[in-house]
Each structure stands twice: as structure tokens, then as C-alpha cells.
Chains A and B, each alone.
Chain A
Amino acid sequence: MKNNKKAVMVLLNYGIIVAFLVMIIIFAIASPNFLTTNTMFTILRQVAITGIISIGMTLVLLTGGIDLSVGSIAGVTAVTAAICLKNYNLPIPVTCIIGLVLAVIYGGISGICVTKLNMPPFIATLGVQTSLRGLAYIVTGGLPVYGFTKAFSSFAQGSVLGIPNQVILAVVLFIIFIIALSRTTLGRYLYGVGGNEEASRLSGINVTAIKIMAYSVSGFLAGVAGLVLLSRTASGQPSAGDGYEMDAITAAVIGGVSLSGGEGRLPMVIIGVLLMGTLSTGMIMCGINDYVQQLVKGIVLIVAVAYSQFSQKIRNRMAASS
């Protein structure tokens, strides 16, 4: 009985890895070119950007919130940077700083709406999402901004020891935040606030500050993702980053981050990110068209959330019976 319980727990915690492996096997059978280093790098390059965003998303989800604005922040940061480079000829470091400072501010606005104005996170960040997308179209006049210095694109095209720069960046960011969540006060407070906001407040924790910080960091990372995206495409599209929030939320939920806050681990989110990337690349290689892909991704999100609720229920029942 006890062993049974343990087995169920292990399955609940790591079932996602099994699902991931099964998916790889299916794609490998369906498409002979799937299991190649080339495909692997395609997937990694692709997931680097959503991976960076999903870190910030995880922080916000841990507090019990959600951030729908990340895709728009990535997009508006990309076009801002493109304009800085092209129209104002600003140096690359200055451009990056301007883009990132603004990204932090966008995130901070969401944070203030959620805490000081007591808005539901879903609505607050939906508002920010829509306004920023509008802003991206206004500043670009709806047209892509391109033709700026090639030096900016060299980042995404470069690699170290054969590993693409953007993948290295994503890995470094994951490592930094995995350490921050497990070793620093930031992690403690995020898990604490999400696990029990009132107890945290009564324990003397500045809940408002923690939440605003989570949204600001999420904004910052979305900004980083926007810059990487701009470097990769060499063109500031006002529609850039559209729908990233869905990928990031799905990846986080697949990785076991609870939508009600307080639970979830970043290393598992990496699996979620890889799974989402593998799924979309695999579908492309199997010749499944765009529209079907979107359908599948939506279903995956719903299934992932259902699974997470279900496993939570099982866990509670097992905790109650023990």
C-alpha cells in the first residue's frame, strides 16, 4: 500500500517526462528526419525565447497571478530597439538598456494594477497586453522596422562551441533563477506569498512589493526575449511575440506550476518548454499545417491544466488519508 502510494506520487511528479519521451518516439517513427542533431538545434533555438519568457511567467504564477502581457512586451521591446538602432543610430548597449528599462516598467504597471488597484491579474495583464500591442503598431505605423546594423543580428547567429548564443543565454538565465528560487529570500517570499498571502503578510512580509517585483521581472525577461527575437529576425515586427504568453503558460503548467500559486519548480518548467518546442517542430516536420497546430496547442493547454488539477486532487486525498 505504501509502495503503491509512492509509485503514484512519482508518476504524478514525473509523468510529464514519460509523456515527453513518448512524444519523441511518436515523432521519430512518423518522420525519419526527426531524430537528428539538426532538429535538436532547431528545437533548442526555438524554445530559447519562450523559455526565457516562461521563467518570468513561473515567478508570476508562483505568486498566484498570471501575466498575459509578456508577448506584447516582447513585441514592443523588439520594435523599440529596432527604432532606436535605425532612426536614432543609438549604440547597441544603450538600445538594450532603453528596451529593458521600458520592459521593466510595463511589468511594473501590471504589478501595481494587481496590488495597489486590486485588479484581477488576468484582467490587468490583458489590458497591458492590448495597450502595448497597440503601442507597437502606433510607433511603427504598422510596418516592420528593418535595415539596422548587422552587428545586432550577429548575437543570434553566433554560437559558442557549436551551441547557439540564444540557447546559452536561456540556460544561463534558467540557472540564475533556479538558484534564486532555491537559495535566496526572493524564492522564499514568492512561494510563501503564493502559498498563503495572509500568513505572509502577518509574518511581516511586504506582499505588495514581492508581487510588483514578480511582474517587473517577468516584464524584464519578456524584454530580453524581445531583443533576442529582434536579433534573430533582423526585423522589428509590430506583431512580434504574439501568443507567446500561451506557450509560456502551457510550458509552466506542464512543468507542474500550480495556477493557484505557491507550487512549482523551474527545472520541471524546462521540460515543459522543451515539450512545447518539440511538439511544434515535430508537427511541422510531419507536415501538419498551422491551423491544426494551433488547435493542438490549445488542447495541450487544456489537458495540462486538467491534469494538474486532477493530480492536485489525488495528492490532497492521499495527504488526507495518511
Chain B
Amino acid sequence: MEDIILRVRNISKHYPGVRALDNVSFEVRRGEVHAICGENGAGKSTLIKILTGAIQPTSGSIEFNGKTYEKLTPRQAMELGISVIYQEFSLVPYLTIAENIFYGREIKKGIIRDLKGMEEKAKALCQDMGIELDVNKRVCDLGVAYQQIVEILKAVSRNTEFIIMDEPTAPLTIKETEVFFRIIEKLKKENVTIIFISHRLEEVFELCDRATVFCDGKYIVTKDVKDLNRRQLISYMVGRELSDDYPVPHRELGETVMEVRNLTNKNVKDVSFEIKRGEILGFGGLVGAGRTELARALYGADPIQKGKITFHGQAYHPKTPRTGLNAGIGLIPEDRKAQGVVLSRPIRENIVYSILKRITRLSFINKKKEQQYVDKYIKEMNIKTPSPEQLVQNLSGGNQQKVVLAKAMATDCDILIFDEPTRGIDVGAKQEIYGLMCRLVEEGKSIIMISSEMSELLGMSDRIIVMSNGHIAGELSKDEYSQARVLEMASS
């Protein structure tokens, strides 16, 4: 019989209005490198959070080393020997590499930390893994890539038999990726089980034994990697052929309304593009490719270092979000709870938040005018609520997103930037948002849409610009684009 270290049985995780994981079951064999693949929002991170005890599943069970658990707490997960390497670092910048590796379980002589001992052990570990590192360097003096490697060493040093790696190579360049591959090979020999999550499909093929694919929170398939090819894998990840259920707006594209030339700041490098009246311009790419940062720079939320923007034929220099709004640019930010709404205030106040000046006299708010706006947009956006006085925190994700949209609509902008407009909301609300986007372009407005959901990006955009590492990796017109091409450009 196969030696199964982890069995996930019928795990579901429901949030209000969303099924992040829907009745998922699969097995991981001892000593294998098991890839988990899926688009953004497929449920990968939810699964990791459940395995590490960060969140509890709505239903289902986890069997680890033969014992069944209804749910795990972070402490239990640690005691079971499940360690995780996240994309975000958990290192202490001003401690040395050796100190970081043994952080929280320092080697001691009596009550005093044995620095020498830790140093030697860390050195041995590095040699073992074939890495050249001065373990006395402080972590803050290392580049991001080597910080990631220290993170991995830290996990390895615990002699765990089960490691989850969430996008471990994202910050690595080719050279460090090789180092990373060596570490994985080494761990494989020691019969360590690894769950590996990466957007770089080549790595899946190079490193992994088996791959499990998720799509929209559902389990799709588990296959031996040697029986898979890239095309098959992508088609599993996307799950369906592109459906035609995206609404098609009826309008002609108009003149160019905005022209961006060589826009550069901390996260965006030399970006140029233009957008026409009535156009939906899609931005594709991996998370962290600089799309959100580009949107924020256009809106005035982040400073611009270089570059020229022409908007309606005039030079446009965004300095604050207020400049963006006044010029006629609206932003629907990617993280609605952190950036979009004030959760502790009612729907009414959120809707008119950006346009208070229009409905006030001598800074007193005209309640009647306010109510007109609020009623109009609750109806237009179809926000489902018993009353406009309902606090936004009590709404479902989809309705919260509609409040964010209502706030942006109320400003009556010419260009609207939708950053992940349908992330984490249910299908019904998604369709309504697509419908709204169509109405907007039919009215002659232009839309910049950033989306990591491939089918949405392909279904809604007139044109797609793919970004990678802050640069524009390429541009695809409607008759050119396909999932494979977008994915390929994005991971270039």
C-alpha cells in the first residue's frame, strides 16, 4: 500500500456568499513533491491556511500521519511538523542569518544563547545544502532572494518531514533558483514531503512528482507530472473553455482619451499605453507585476518619478487621489475592505464619501440631496440591503463591492480603473458588475480593468496589456489573445 502522509477529506470553506473551497479531497504521498496548481482565487491559499491552522474549515477532515483531525490550530499544525514558507518573510532583519535560523528555539548554554554553536550548526546546514553563505551577515544586508533562501533553511533546520512552499521562487532570479532546486533535491533524498505552489509552470514540471489542480474552489484532478504537458495543465487550471456568458457592449471606440508615456516610479518601469473612449483595456500579469501600482500612480495615490500623461489632450500630473478624481479618474481598489469602504459606517455615508462637497453648503450636509444620490445608486447598483443605514461591515462581499462601485460612479469619472473588480464575490454579483461595465462604456466612459482571473480578462477586454516585473511584457488585441499567450507573457 502507498504511504500516504496527508489525506484531505471533503474539506469545504464557506465565506458569506463565496465558497472558497468546495468539498475538496486529495492525498499526498510521503516523500513526494506535490504541486498545487490553479489560478488566483482557485482556493490554494485557503487550503494552505487550513493545513496550517490559520483558518478552520466549514466542514470535512484532515488526516495526517494516520490521525484524523476535524480542524487544526496553528499550534497543532506546528507540533505535527507542518511548516510553511510564505511569500512574505518572517525573518528578523537585524539578527544574523544563524540567529534567524534558530530564532525561537535558540541553542543555549545554561540560560545564555550559544552563538558559536548556532553559527557552527548554521554553517553545517549551508554546506549540507551546498550554499555559500556567511551566516554572520545580518538578514537586512541580504537581497530579497537570499532572504528567501534563509527562510527555507529555517524551515529545513527544524527536521520537519512536511513543508508547504507558497510561491517560494517568486523573488528568486535564475541563479538563486538553481540553489533552490538543489535544496529541494536534497530534501527529496531525505524523504521530506513538500507541497509546492508556484505560478511558474516550468518549475512544476521540473521539480514535482505529482500535481493537483484546483479551479474556483473545486478539486479538478491529481496527476503524475510525467503524464502531463503544459497545455493540458493550463486547460485543467482554467477548468472550462472560455464561456460566452460575458456581455458584449454595443458601441464604437472613440478618440484616444488618455496617453501615458514612459511612466516610471518605484514599482512601474517605463510604461506607455493609450486608451480610447469607450474601451475596456485589460491588464494581465502575475500578482506583483506592477499593475496595481500603475493604477495607483495614474490615480494619484502613489508618486510618479518620470513620464508624461496626457488626458483629454492636456497634461495631467496626478499628485493626490483628489487630483485624479477632479480630473475625472476613478479607482475601484483591489482590496475593498482595506481600501474601498469604511466598514464601520453606513452605506449612505460611504456612497457620498467622495462627493460630499457637491451636497454641502457651508459644510452642512444637505440631507435631501444626499438621500437622492444614495437612493439612486442603491437602485442602480442593486445593492441588497434593508436600509441605507446598514453598516457596510454587515453586507456580503458582493454588496460591499457594489458600495465601492457606487462611490466611484457618483464621482462621474471619464476613466474608471477596476482593480480586481470581482475578487471573492459570487457569480450573480459578478454578472451584475460585468453588466455595469458594459453600460459604462456604452455611455462613452473608458475602463482600465486589472484582473488575475483569466476568463474575466479575456471575456471583458477589448485589448490586453500584459505586465511583468513592472514592465509591459506585451500587448494583445482581441483576435490575438488566448490564455496560453497571456500566461506565457506574464511568466516571461
Contacts and interface: CB of A to CB of B under 8 A. Distances in A.
A201 B301 contact: yes
Interface in A300-322: 319, 322
Interface residues on B, range: 20 to 34
Given A188-B353, A192-B342, A262-B344, A202 B333 contact: yes
B301 A184 contact: no
B165 to A, nearest CB: 30
A198 interface: yes
Contacts of B354: 203-205
B339 interface: yes
Given A201-B321, A203-B353, A205-B353, A185 B365 contact: yes
Main secondary structure of the interface of B (DSSP, over half): helix
A59 to B, nearest CB: 15
Nearest to A180: B363
Nearest to B325: A204
A62 B5 CA distance: 51
Contacts of A186: 363
Interface string A266-281: 0000000000000000
Interface string B343-377: 11100010001101100100111000000000000
B319 to A, nearest CB: 11
B238 interface: no
Contacts of A192: 342, 345, 349, 353
Contacts of B363: 184-186
Contacts, number: 79
Contacts of B365: 183-185, 188
Contacts of B349: 188, 191-192
Interface in A192-242: 192, 195-196, 198-206
A35 to B, nearest CB: 39
Contacts of B333: 199, 202
Interface string B320-331: 111011100001
A199 B393 contact: no
Nearest to A208: B320
A205 B321 CA distance: 8
Nearest to B331: A202
Interface in B71-110: none
Nearest to B341: A199
Q: Which of A183, A204, A263, A322 has the most CB of B within 10 A?
A: A204
A322 B339 CA distance: 24
B174 interface: no
A262 B345 CA distance: 8
B338 A203 contact: no
A269 to B, nearest CB: 17
Contact of A184 (B320, B331, B364): B364
Main secondary structure of the interface of A (DSSP, over half): helix
Contact of B344 (A195, A200, A201, A206): A195
A286 to B, nearest CB: 40
Interface residues of A, number: 23
A189 B350 CA distance: 11
A202 B342 contact: no
Contacts of B199: none
Contacts of B342: 191-192, 195-196, 199-200, 262
B394 interface: yes
A204 B321 contact: yes
B445 interface: no
B321, B326, B393, B394: most-surrounded residue (chain A CB, <10 A):
B321
Contacts of A201: 301, 320-321
A204 B339 CA distance: 12
Contacts of B326: 204
A202 B340 CA distance: 8
B402 interface: no
A183 B364 contact: yes
B123 to A, nearest CB: 40
B210 interface: no
B321 A319 contact: no
A195 B350 CA distance: 11
A196 B341 CA distance: 7
Interface string A41-77: 0000000000000000000000000000000000000
B301 A185 contact: no
A186 B362 CA distance: 11
A187 to B, nearest CB: 9
B218 interface: no
A202 B393 contact: no
B356 A188 contact: yes
B407 interface: yes
Nearest to A258: B344
A208 to B, nearest CB: 10
B339 A319 contact: no
A56 B59 CA distance: 49
Interface string B434-476: 0000000000000000000000000000000000000000000
B222 to A, nearest CB: 34
Nearest to B299: A202
A188 B364 CA distance: 11
B394 A263 contact: no
Q: Which 9 pairs across A and B sit closest by C-beta, in order of nearness?
A: A195-B342, A204-B322, A204-B325, A195-B344, A196-B342, A203-B354, A184-B363, A203-B353, A204-B321
